[in-house]
Amino acid sequence: MTGDGTGAGPWPDLPPGQRPAGRWLASHYGKVPQVDGERWRLTVRGATADGGLTVLDRGMLAQMKFVEVAAALHCVDRHSVTGLRWGGVRLADVVAAAPPEEGAHHVLLAASRGYSSAVLLEDLLAPDALLATHVDGQPLTREHGWPARVVLPHLYGFKAPKWIAEISYHHTAQQGYWEARGWHPRGRVALEERWAHQG
């Protein structure tokens, strides 16, 4: 894999402002949670089309089409891990199984231990946006998000929670953990959207 960026400079195969990471180190808020894979559930709630909530378990996800996407992981600290091959189900398929009501374009992704991030619905519908369960042909390790993590290659890593537990739809913009602390509400890598003051 040569990268998925459009930047120039010493690493032209990476997005602007990024440099290659020496190795893939686990980076996360708080301690690694000990999630019970058999009891793990993904809840979809909020402004849903049917007004209720949907609970998906690993068995239900296994019935969806498994896909693989080659995509780098771009950290907001300017390091990128390239050459990763993610496996899982498209988040677009999850949204199709539990859609939002019309006009609910904002999403809050909540994970174990109180972490959350705010994205737009269109971010989840991107063709390479995954609910990932595997990387490089192997199940995710606990440190890297097992049993499931969000992968949004066009956004910085802080937008894509590990140990994902809930997707909630909203009609107004939300703030997750880092957004409430001054990080960018959108976080697009190609535009170097790191800080809230960038607009």
Predicted confidence pLDDT, tens digits, the chain (199 residues): 333 444 445 656 799 999 998 766 666 666 777 888 889 999 999 999 999 999 999 999 999 999 999 999 999 989 999 999 999 999 999 999 999 999 999 999 999 888 999 999 999 999 999 999 999 999 999 999 999 999 999 999 999 999 999 999 999 999 999 999 999 999 999 999 998 887 6
CATH number at 185 reads 3.90.420.10
- Residue 120 CA to residue 127 CA, distance in Å, equals 14
Contacts of 85 by beta carbon, 8 Å cutoff, 6+ apart: 68, 69, 70, 135, 136, 137
16: in domain? no
Query: Which of these, 40, 23, 1, 69, lies nearest to 142 by C-alpha position?
Result: 40
172: in domain? yes
CB 154 within 8 A of CB 88: no
- State CA 199 to chain mean position distance: 21
Q: Where in the sequence is the domain holding 154, given as residue range(s)?
A: 37-198
66: in domain? yes
CA angle (40 as vertex; 37, 41 as ends), nearest 5: 150
CB 130 within 8 A of CB 151: yes
- Residue 31 CA to residue 112 CA, distance in Å, equals 10
Question: In total, how many domains does the chain have?
Answer: 1
92: in domain? yes
63: in domain? yes
CB 2 within 8 A of CB 13: yes
26: in domain? no
50: in domain? yes
123: in domain? yes
